[in-house]
Chain A
C-alpha cells in the first residue's frame, strides 16, 4: 500500500481487519513507560494542514514521533501560501527537501489525490473537503471492536447529523459496511446528501424511531454556519429533534454505545452528561487515534514500504 487516500485503499474486509489487528501492537507501545520504538528512524514526515485541526494534526505528529520519525509541520497561516503559492509548488518545495510521508488536510475534495500525483512520498489523507477521512474511520472501527469483539457482523450503527457535509460519515459508512455493520443515517432532509444511490444504508429523519434498535449511536458535529444557510431553524431546535441527551439515551438498549469524532458542541448534538457517561467511547477514540495512525505510518513507510 503506497498511499491512504480513501477507505477503499485499505482493501478487503480481511485486509482491514489485519490493519486493525496490527494496531494492537502499537497500543502496547503507547502504554510503555518509554512509548517509543525506532521503527521509522530516519524517515521524514510532513504534516501539511490547510484546514485547522488540533486533534488530527497532534495525533499524527505524536504517532510519527512515537515511531522515531522526524516530523515537520507545515502550517498554512505562517507559510508562503499567504503569498499566493499554489498547492503544487508547496508540495514540490517540500519534496525537494526530501520527504517520505505527507499527511494532508485540505478543504478541496481530491486534494490528497493531487498531492500523491505530484510527489514520490507516501500520502495520507487527513481529510479532503467533504470527501473522506480514512484514519478517522479506522480508529472508529478499532474502538468499536475493542468493545464489540473482533467481528462487527450485524452490528447496528446509526450515524446522526450533518451527513451531507461530513467526510467522517462517508468514510465511516464505507468501513462499517465492509466490516459487516448495518447502517442507518439519521438527520433532517436538508442535511442529507442530495442522492444516496448505491449507499448501503437506510435513512431515517426521526431519531427517536431509531434509538431502540441500534447498538451504536455515532453523533456528528453540527456546524453553526449551517444555521445561516437556513438548513435548520436554530441550534435549540436541532438539539431538540436530533440531540443525544439523557432522555434519549434512556430509550436506547442498556449496552448501546455512543461515539463522536470530535470536537463536540456540548448541548447541541450531544449533551455533556451523555458525552461523559460510561457508554461514551469518545475519549477512547482519541487515544486509539494515535495507535491507529502509527499502524498506518508503519504500513506505508515501514513494513512493506518503498526501499529507501
Chain B
C-alpha cells in the first residue's frame, strides 16, 4: 500500500463558516408552512380547540405564519401565544442566557397547545418550553411543530409536525431566515461551522 503523506491544514486558524446547501427557498418554506397548517387542523379534527405558542425568536414568526395559513382555509382565528424559555433552560450558569421577549400566552387549560419552533436539535429547548407551559396552565395535550428537525436529540423528545427532516453533523449549523425577522428573503440554509470543511473530517458526526 502506498503511504499517503499526512494532509496538513494550510493554516492553524479554523476555517470560516461556509454555506453548503440552500435547503429551502421562499417558495419551499411557504409550502412547508401550508402543509404543517393543514396537518395541525387534520390531526386535531379542526382548529377550534387549538392554541399556537411560538418560541422566541423565529418560532414566533413561524407560529404567526401558521395562524395566517390556517385562517386562509378555515374560518377560525387560532389564538397565538409567545413564550420565552430563558428561565427554564438547563444551562443557566454554564453560559450567558438572556430573555428574548415577553411571554404572553392566552388561556391554555383544557386546550391543545401546539408549540412552534424553527429548528429541533437536542430537544432541550422543547423540554424547557414544556416546563414553562405546565406552569401557565394545564393543556389537554401538547404537540410540537418545527420547520426543521436536524437530529441529534439528547432527550426523548420528538416533533409532531415537521417541515423538513434534515440529517446534519453536529458541527454544522442550520440557519433559518424569515423576512420579518432577518430581512431579505425567506430561506433555510445548511452551513458548515469553523474547522469542518477539511476533507479528512468529513466522516465525523
Interface residues of A (CB under 8 A from B): 22, 24-25, 28-29, 32-34, 36-40, 67, 298, 301-308
Contacts and interface: CB of A to CB of B under 8 A. Distances in A.
Interface stretch (B32-40, B83-91, B167-175): B83-91
A303 B88 contact: no
B96 interface: yes
Contacts, number: 47
Contacts of A67: 87
Contacts of B84: 25
Interface stretch (B11-19, B21-29, B98-106, B141-149): B98-106
A299 B166 CA distance: 36
A303 B102 contact: no
Contact of A38 (B88, B97, B99, B102): B88
B25 to A, nearest CB: 35
B184 interface: no
Interface of B: 84, 86-88, 92-94, 96-99, 102-104, 131, 135-136
A22 B98 contact: yes
11 contacts: A22-B99, A25-B84, A25-B87, A25-B102, A32-B135, A37-B88, A38-B88, A39-B88, A302-B92, A303-B97, A308-B93
Contacts of B98: 22, 303
B102 A29 contact: no
Contacts of B97: 302-303
Nearest to A68: B87
B136 A302 contact: no
Contact of B92 (A22, A29, A36, A39): A39
A37 B96 contact: no
B87 A38 contact: yes
Contacts of B86: 25, 39, 303
Contacts of A39: 86-88, 92
Contacts of B96: 303-304
Nearest to B101: A25
A155 B88 CA distance: 38
A302 B96 CA distance: 8
A43 B93 CA distance: 10
B53 to A, nearest CB: 15
Nearest to A40: B92
B93 A305 contact: yes
B135 A301 contact: no
A82 B185 CA distance: 70
A185 B88 CA distance: 44
Contacts of A40: 92
Contacts of A38: 87-88, 131
Contacts of B92: 39-40, 302-303
Contacts of B88: 37-39
B102 A24 contact: yes
Contacts of B131: 38
Contacts of B135: 32, 34, 36-37
Nearest to A302: B92
A24 B131 CA distance: 21
A40 B92 CA distance: 8
Contacts of A302: 87, 92-93, 97
